[in-house]
Amino acid sequence: MASSAATLDRSTTRQQPNIGFGATLKSEWTKMISTRSTYIMLLIAVALAVGLTALIGLAVGSTYDDWNASDQASFEPISFSLAGMAFGSILLIVLGVNLVASEYSSGMIRTTLAVTPQRGRLLAAKVVLISVVTMVATLVITILSLAVGMAILGAYDMPTVSLSDSDVLRTIVLLTLTSPLFPLIGATFAFLFRSIATPITLVLAVFFAPSMFGALFPRWWQENVLSLLPSSAADSLSLGHVNDSDMYLDPAIAAVVVAAWLVIVIGAAYVTLTRRDA
Amino acid sequence: MIEVRGLSKHYGNVKAVDGLTFDVKPGIVTGFLGPNGAGKSTTMRMIIGLDNPTEGSVTIKGKSYRELPAPMYEVGALLDAKAVFGRRSAYQHLNWMAQAGGVPKSRIDEVLDIVGLTSVAGKSINGFSLGMYQRLGIAGALLGDPEILLFDEPVNGLDPEGILWIRNLMKRLASEGRTVFVSSHLMNEMEETADHLIVIGRGKLIADTSVSDFIQRSTKSHVRVVSPQAAELAPRLDNAGATITIADDGALIVSGIEAAQIGDIAASHSIRLHELSPQRARLEAAFMETTRDSVEYQAGTPEAVAAVFAEPTQAPTEQEVR
């Protein structure tokens, strides 16, 4: 404590630093990597996605010989290898929501906003961080899933596609690029609702409902309404070249729809963050 | 220098802060005093841009907080010590703050040393006591070596040693030329620490004055006199111009003349005195006098008001502990 007085003395010539987006992003990165839950969620995401693909591969492989000819003909190894992907995506959505919601549950948002009062910069840093983390995780998950999936299918003499095949590479790149959509929707919902449960429930409903219940709707609804939901728009971008669905859009239109959803939710988060009391 | 101008915050029909105008000056500790629910925390949140004012403005060296390019270098605030994410170490917590505020990493060790948390820097915040949370919050406030410091109820829930430490720290920060603005509902705490007072009640400004002026102006001091011959003494004091009331234990409460004069009068009439004690008006009494009409949830009697401020050194009420 003896040295305290000296360290408190303020030099009058002290220069203030230039603080910009980089400082905020670096700080958000530090926040993310200094909590254990980040690593746990990322680990579970990878293990769940790859593990489920492997399990389903083993189950399907052992029964493949009993399939009838038309089922065997319509078997699609790429989308099959990504069967566990959705479960990994859920964990990435939870991670995205948690990176914002934990600020509110702990009350730390008030410290965060005191240190970075520029709301737009803080929001942008969260968006970039969540996007990058999700994309890296998705890249790892898709490559591992495809590698494991093809290895198991190959072991059962089922149809496989080489990992260097252009359709495989395209799938990896497109899935990676579209992966931040739902974690970002979840994160912006967390800004709006300031909790973890509501955003996760809402975003999972938006994420899963079309693929689970979409086929129950008349075709006109699938083509003109459900296709505009973020999940079908993102799927038409990432999987449109290997799958087909009435809910899929033309890629260019799908890209616009995805962008529009992001603008809406991020815009809503920005307005809320600026106007509402913290 | 903090400049508050016509600041108001309404929640529906409730005026939590109602047209406050005052300055907080550098080089002294300014106490922000008011009963629970008077609007102190809301005002402090508006100073650092967390809450938007309904009307009016707060500026820091002429700028609103949200416009400050490097806010940590201008203002350090401890508003809510518990508002940290617990599953992180103290060092990691200060590290993200330093990075966001553009503060060099070396400063983290300095502030940890100042607040005495160096030995637990690597420990998870979860296991911290309330006093350690307060120290960590103060470390965060000091990171940018700011000219202005805000503390909202900093001694809440602290042990005597912690209270003394915070008092001395605030005085030292002010003596270094900084602006120190500290809120409390504890009158005796302000009497120990503050040089100047901003007193509010029900969101309105009640006083903006030095501590000594506030005490002098708000209440009259009096002298407590105990005498076995009180009945003989009272009329003589009355003749000398004193105002006399009788306390429950039979003592005379004399105001209007000095203790020395009372002693002389008694001596000249050979009246024995067992006690002759001047009662200095406490800040607490002055405060109660001034805010009598502005206490929220007032039951309507002076006793109810007194109850709000009874035993101020005890643990704070639930309302103020987050």
Per-residue pLDDT of B27-83, as tens digits, reads 999 999 988 888 999 999 999 999 999 999 999 999 999 999 999 999 999 998 888
CATH number of B226's domain: 3.30.70
Residue B262 within any structural domain of the chain: yes
Same domain, yes or no, for B62 and B163?
yes
Average pLDDT over residues A264-276: 96
- Choose one of B217, B235, B250: the last residue of a domain: B217
Check B114 against A116: CB less than 8 A apart: no
Residue B286 within any structural domain of the chain: no
Residue B295 within any structural domain of the chain: no
Residue B80 within any structural domain of the chain: yes
Average pLDDT over residues B152-177: 91
Give the pLDDT band (50/70/90) at residue A196. very high
As for the ipTM of the complex, it is: 0.88
- Choose one of B217, B234, B250: the last residue of a domain: B217
Same domain, yes or no, for B29 and B51?
yes
Find the residue in A nearest to B147 (Cα): A10
Residue B102 within any structural domain of the chain: yes
Least confident of A173-187, B135-149, B186-200, B305-319: B305-319
Give the pLDDT band (50/70/90) at residue A144. very high
Average pLDDT over residues B97-107: 96
Would you state the pLDDT for residue B156?
81
Same domain, yes or no, for B184 and B173?
yes
**Of the partner residues B52, B92, B322, the one whose CB lies closest to the CB of residue A34:** B92
**Of the partner residues B51, B70, B142, the one whose CB lies closest to the CB of residue A16:** B70
Residue B192 within any structural domain of the chain: yes
Average pLDDT over residues B169-174: 95
Same domain, yes or no, for B264 and B135?
no
Mean of per-residue pLDDT scores for chain A: 89
Average pLDDT over residues B287-311: 52
Average pLDDT over residues B181-192: 85
Check B87 against A36: CB less than 8 A apart: yes
* Residue A7, min C-alpha distance to chain B (Å): 7
Same domain, yes or no, for B226 and B91?
no
Q: What is the pLDDT of residues B119-136, one digit of tens each?
A: 999 999 999 998 999 999
Same domain, yes or no, for B142 and B54?
yes
Same domain, yes or no, for B210 and B249?
no
Average pLDDT over residues B100-118: 95
The domain in which residue B259 lies consists of: 220-277
HEC sequence for chain B:
CEEEEEEEEEECCEEEEEEEEEEECCCCEEEEECCCCCCHHHHHHHHCCCCCCCEEEEEECCECHHHCCCHHHHEEEECCCCCCCCCCEHHHHHHHHHHHHCCCCHHHHHHHHHHCCHHHCCCEHHHCCHHHHHHHHHHHHHCCCCCEEEEECCCCCCCHHHHHHHHHHHHHHHHCCCEEEEEECCHHHHHHHCCEEEEEECCEEEEEEEHHHHHHHHCCCEEEEECCCHHHHHHHHHHCCCEEEECCCCCEEEECCCHHHHHHHHHHCCCCCCEEEEECCCHHHHHHHHHHHHCCCCCCCHHHHHHHCCCCCCCCCHHHCC
Same domain, yes or no, for B67 and B175?
yes
Would you state the pLDDT for residue B282?
64
Same domain, yes or no, for B86 and B172?
yes
Count structural domains, chain B: 2
Residue B305 within any structural domain of the chain: no
Same domain, yes or no, for B211 and B260?
no
Same domain, yes or no, for B32 and B96?
yes
Same domain, yes or no, for B184 and B249?
no
Residue to mutate among A3, A8, A112, with most B CBs inside 10 A, is A8
